[in-house]
Amino acid sequence: AQSVSQHNHHVILSEAASLELGCNYSYGGTVNLFWYVQYPGQHLQLLLKYFSGDPLVKGIKGFEAEFIKSKFSFNLRKPSVQWSDTAEYFCAVNDHTGRRALTFGSGTRLQVQP
């Protein structure tokens, strides 16, 4: 069975600070990895995803994530956060066996202070 760990539950940053949110998964096979964001009062939306190729993936709004297979990690980064990045961020995984359901991490609440 898959599982996803997001160790940072609540992160507080000032505007212009750099961001890195951790995501580790447990699954021995080939995986697809996703980062979703939920802005206050809004629905979940996809930031970026990785399934093959270049392990450095660029997403919307200046976010990127790096897949490191040896570390079972898919950390989300942004060089300079803005107040509008205040949201909850979810890492998710599914695998290449065809089961399409996403297994989500517990989420990281990011608060950016102006």
Least Å distance, CB 103 to other proteins, is 8
> Does residue 105 belong to the site contacting other proteins (CB under 8 A)?
yes
When asked if residue 66 is in the footprint of other proteins (CB under 8 A), the reply is no
Nearer to other proteins, 1 or 114 (CB): 1
Q: How far is the CB of 15 from other proteins (least distance, A)?
A: 27
Nearer to other proteins, 97 or 114 (CB): 97
If one asks whether residue 106 binds other proteins (CB under 8 A), the answer comes out as yes
Burial grade of 2 (CB within 10 A; 0-12, 13-18, 19 or more): middle
Which segments within the chain are labelled E, that is strand? 3-5, 10-14, 19-21, 24-26, 31-38, 45-50, 56-58, 64-68, 73-78, 87-95, 103-104, 108-113
By CB under 8 A, is residue 102 in contact with other proteins? yes
